[in-house]
Amino acid sequence: MKILVFTSRYTASRDIISEDFGRQVRLFEQLGKFGHKIDFFCVDYKKLENKDTKLHGMNIFIRSFKPAGFFSFLSDLRKVISNKDYDLVIATSDPLWGVIGYFLSKKCKKRFVYDIQDNYLVYKSYKLPFFGFFERYVTRNSDLVICASDILANNAKKIRKKKTVTIPNGVDTKIFRPLDKADSRRRLRLPIDAKIISYIGSIQKIQGMDILIKAYEELRKEIKNINLLVAGRVGTVFRENFDFNKEGIIYLGSLPQKKVVYAINASDVLVIPYPKNIFTDVMFAPYKIVEFMACNRPIVITDAGEMHRHIKNKKMIAKAGNIGDLKEKIKYALKLEKSNSRNAAMKFDWKNIARKLNKAIKE
């Protein structure tokens, strides 16, 4: 099939094209290996660029998106859908692209797949008048709906009769693999002999960063020479501030994927401190949990969403929002040298995830 992926250029505050990052690139790069021709139409609402490029043999059409040029944007998208003779359009990363993509696809007589990655009720698009009605219509009538978690899929099935499939986030197991801890620390200039607990990912209160910092401050009273390593970008949606200058906290900023694997392997324990909220309750997993698993590092995770179901050692699962319980689970995990979780992570290799999507598309 010839497939057009309609997506934001930026997800998790990162440029999926220039950084070669994320669900969209990894999933559809692998899907192309099943004989499909994949192109991307990327919405650029930051740099407002208009250009064509290539990535992993896929054609990338980047188009600017701003209110003043909305109808010009629609015209460009319609021309690409019509003139390139696509069999299928897949909209992902924002419900607004789902609504726009659905109606333009049907106008151009193309089949349409809607990828639901999050609880879209919290997205800015839902502030538009009557948007919820149109988004539910798209969910109900798309030829196929794919969802990043079973919870999202079950919610979609309540209003759908057509096929709905869970396509979770995956991992590149060639990049994310067990490495020597001491060497990984030297590469990132981290203390060799310290105990290091780490958080790697988007940094926001909605993801429990404030809870982790409080738990770490309690741990410092009990455990000597312990550090909290933080890597990622601070979320800009809520204009939050975190004090990373506190003693013992090491903030590395945002790391490229090839350095993230060193940060993971440098850690004694990796922590996912998510509280329960409308964002985390529907998550299968952020990328990080399967990346951590693929590196065989001990993981402490809360019982928010579906993530914790993939952790076999239940002593590593903390009550969401409970600082004391999170602290105790970290103390337990620090006694472990490693976690034999790579085999469990292998089923989430992007190639296996793409194989499942390929089957759903063919059906």
Q: What is the CATH number of the domain that holds 133?
A: 3.40.50.2000
Distance between CA 357 and CA 28 in Å, rounded? 9
Q: Which of 34-38, 294-298, 302-306, 357-361 has the lowest mean pLDDT?
A: 302-306
pLDDT for 287 equals 65
Whether residue 302 sits in one domain with residue 190: yes
Confirm whether 224 is domain-assigned. Answer: yes
pLDDT for 312 equals 80
Whole-structure pTM over 0.85, yes or no? yes
Residue 87 pLDDT > 60: yes
Confirm whether 147 is domain-assigned. Answer: yes
Q: Which domain holds residue 100?
A: 2-170+348-362
Confirm whether 142 is domain-assigned. Answer: yes
Confirm whether 65 is domain-assigned. Answer: yes
Identify which has the larger pLDDT, 34 or 257: 34
- Kindly indicate the confidence band of residue 257, based on its pLDDT and cuts at 50, 70 and 90: confident
Query: Which own/partner contact pairs does 8-14 have at CB distance under 8 Å and 24+ positions apart?
Result: 8/42, 8/43, 8/45, 8/93, 8/94, 8/97, 9/42, 9/43, 9/44, 9/45, 9/46, 9/62, 10/44, 10/45, 10/46, 11/93, 12/202, 12/233, 13/202, 13/233, 13/235, 13/236, 14/233, 14/254
Cβ atoms within 10 Å, residue 238: 10
Whether residue 138 sits in one domain with residue 202: no
Identify which has the larger pLDDT, 305 or 75: 75
Q: Compute the average pLDDT of residues 187-205.
A: 94
Confirm whether 206 is domain-assigned. Answer: yes
Whether residue 233 sits in one domain with residue 108: no
Provide the number of structural domains found in the chain. Answer: 2
> What's the mean per-residue pLDDT of the chain?
92
- Kindly indicate the confidence band of residue 233, based on its pLDDT and cuts at 50, 70 and 90: confident
pLDDT for 251 equals 96
- pLDDT tens digits, residue range 280-292? 776 655 568 899 9
Q: Compute the average pLDDT of residues 202-229.
A: 94
pLDDT for 173 equals 93
